[in-house]
Each structure stands twice: as C-alpha cells, then as structure tokens.
Amino acid sequence: MVNTSSFNHRSSADDVLRDQNLGGQVIIVTGANTGIGYETARSLAAAGASVIATCRTAEKAAATKQRLMQRYPEGTVETAVMDLASLVSVSDFCTQLSHSKIDIVICNAGVVAPKYTETSEGFEQTVGVCHVGHFLLVKKLLPKILSAPAPRIIMVSSESHRTPSRLDFDALPYPRAKFRPMKAYGQAKLCNALMAVELHRRFADQGLTACYLHPGTMVTTEIGRDSALVRIVMRLARPFTKSANQGAATSVFCAIWDDCSELGGNYFSHSAKAKPSAETANTEAATRLWELSERWLREKGFDG
C-alpha cells in the first residue's frame, strides 16, 4: 500500500516507487524519449513493470531503448514509434501492438506550438497532439485496456487547464485566425482533463479508473521543442522548479495508488489529490468533447 502522507512537491518518481513490485503490469508511456516521459518509463521499468515507451521517431525509439536497457538490462522494456501528430502513426502502433492486455496507459506526450501548425490530418498541432492523438490511442486500445484486471488511464494535463475557464468549442481545434500558443495549450490541457472525466464516467462500471494530473511547473521537458522562447524561459526557471524525476512522481503515483475510489475522475498534483477548475465538473462539456472527438475521427477515416 502506498503511504500517501510521505510525499510532497519535492518527491521523485523513485521515492514514490520505492519497494514497489510492478511485475506483470504492462504500461504504455507516450512521449517517453525525454523529460518527464523518460523518467516515468525509467522508474516504472526499475520497479519491474513491462514498459512500452513510445517515441515520435525510430531514431528516438532506438536511443531510448538503449538508454533504458543499459540501466536495467534485466528489465522488460519495449520502444515503439508513435507520432501523435499523425493518426496513421497512432493507428499503426495500436494495430501492431501484440499484447493481449494493457494495464495502464500514461498519456504523457505534449507540445506547445509557437505558431499555427497543423498535424498530418489538419488539426491544430497543440490540440492535435495533446488531445486528438491520445483520444484515438485510447479508443483503439480500449478492448485491451478493459481486459486488464484493474485498468487505468492517466492523462498528464497541467495547471494550464484552468485557462480558458470554459472549453471554447468555437475555437476547437484552435483556428488559424485566432491562434495564440498558450491559449491553444490551455484548451488542449482542459481537453485532457475532460477526457479523463468522461472516460471514468463511461467505463468505471467495467473496472476502468481514469484521472488527470499536473506534473509540476516548468519541469525539464521537450514540450517547447518547437519554440526557442519557451526553451529559454524553461532553462532560466529550471533551478527553481522540479527535476524531470520529480515531475514524473505524480504520474507514477496515479499508476500505483491503491484507492481507486479516490483516484477515479479526479485531479492530482504533487502526488496528492488537488482541486481542479470548475469546468472539469461540466459533464455536458465532457460528453460534447467526447462526441466531437469521435466525429473528428470518423471524418478522417478513423473510427477508433
């Protein structure tokens, strides 16, 4: 059992997983080649989980596997190519996945697009990567996820889910004419939160637990890979913020915390339950987002 009272904003993923044995657990971590994603995958592998670490390119996947296997030569680690900016890539990953059951999916990958850019299928990139790609991933893997004894889906959201205060369906995905990088990011992170809420509402009776979290402020990450300004700000702030290992703590906490009744549909920060924005309780918005996301997939030829 996890002793929740012993963790705080300085706790690391290794602290949370100390003395844990995750043998037999199959866990997918998206965006696992760097930053929070890498530390999430690494710490879970160290605790004995069978980790599937997804990366955007074959080169990143190969380098990530080499790093992980050098650290844990006895571990069970797979890497796979999955570019969340391409629904074809997401679909191919799901089709090629040989595992019969998936215990946990940690939807970690994200991006802040500094200017208006589109994914392969024409979605604004920030919402396309953070939400649409993850939505297809979860939809296609749901049968394997629900076949696990106690399945979990963990959405790495952000405190940025509070801005905007309401999900603006007229600006979703963000239109080119109104594009603002951080507003698009806030919309995307609110989508992550509402997706977790709706997942839990729809599938809790089938044993699924879904939640969402804030990893920490300005932790080391590749989220600003397309923006020189974001990278500079993050470098300047780094000495005063969490390390990547600390940033991964809440993700792994949500993966192993025993109390599913407290976990499901809720928001976490610093390895503890936290208060989210009021919009996350808007069940109408959560359902509307789910139905809109399904429609987007159908229109692009992906039925999930």
Residue 230: per-residue pLDDT: 57
Determine the residue type at 226: D
> 5: pLDDT confidence band, cut at 50, 70 and 90?
low
Residue 228: per-residue pLDDT: 61
Given a cut of 80, whether residue 97 has pLDDT beyond it is: yes
Residue 234: per-residue pLDDT: 54
Given a cut of 70, whether residue 111 has pLDDT beyond it is: yes
What percent of the chain is modeled with pLDDT above 90? 85
- Which among 179, 183, 192, 181 is positioned nearest to 165, based on CA atoms? 183
What percent of the chain is modeled with pLDDT above 70? 90
Which residue in the list 38, 185, 212, 267 is annotated as catalytic?
185
Query: Is 174 marked active-site?
Result: no
Determine the residue type at 273: K
Residue 266: per-residue pLDDT: 98
Q: Of all helices (H) and strands (E), which one includes residue 256?
A: helix 249-256
Residue 242: per-residue pLDDT: 87
**pLDDT tens track for 183-234:** 999 999 999 999 999 999 999 999 999 999 999 975 555 555 555 655 565 5
Say if residues 7 and 249 touch (Cβ distance below 8 Å). yes
Distance in angstroms (rounded) separating the CA atoms of residues 284 and 118: 28
Name, in order, each residue with C-beta under 8 angstroms of 301's C-beta and a sequence gap of 6 or more.
none
The pLDDT of 175-188, averaged and rounded, is 94
User: Which residue matches tokens 């429609």?
Assistant: 295
Cis preceding-peptide flag for 173 (omega within 30 of 0): yes
Residue 44: per-residue pLDDT: 97
Given a cut of 70, whether residue 91 has pLDDT beyond it is: yes
The mean predicted confidence, pLDDT, of the chain is 92
Distance in angstroms (rounded) separating the CA atoms of residues 114 and 202: 34
Helix or strand or coil: residue 272?
A: strand
Residues making up the chain, counted from first to last:
304
Other CB atoms within 10 Å distance of the CB of residue 247? 27
> 170: pLDDT confidence band, cut at 50, 70 and 90?
very high
Say if residues 146 and 259 touch (Cβ distance below 8 Å). no
Residue 9: per-residue pLDDT: 85
Residue 1: per-residue pLDDT: 56
The vertex-126 CA angle with 234 and 227, nearest 5°, equals: 35
Q: Which two tokens stand for residue 288?
A: 């509307």
Given a cut of 60, whether residue 264 has pLDDT beyond it is: yes
Say if residues 32 and 108 touch (Cβ distance below 8 Å). yes
Given a cut of 60, whether residue 255 has pLDDT beyond it is: yes
Say if residues 105 and 154 touch (Cβ distance below 8 Å). yes
Q: Of all helices (H) and strands (E), which one includes residue 210?
A: strand 209-214
Say if residues 217 and 241 touch (Cβ distance below 8 Å). yes
Residue 222: per-residue pLDDT: 56
Give bridge partners of residue 214 from the DSSP assignment: 269
Residue 4: per-residue pLDDT: 62
**pLDDT tens track for 8-64:** 888 999 999 999 999 999 999 999 999 999 999 999 999 999 999 999 999 999 999
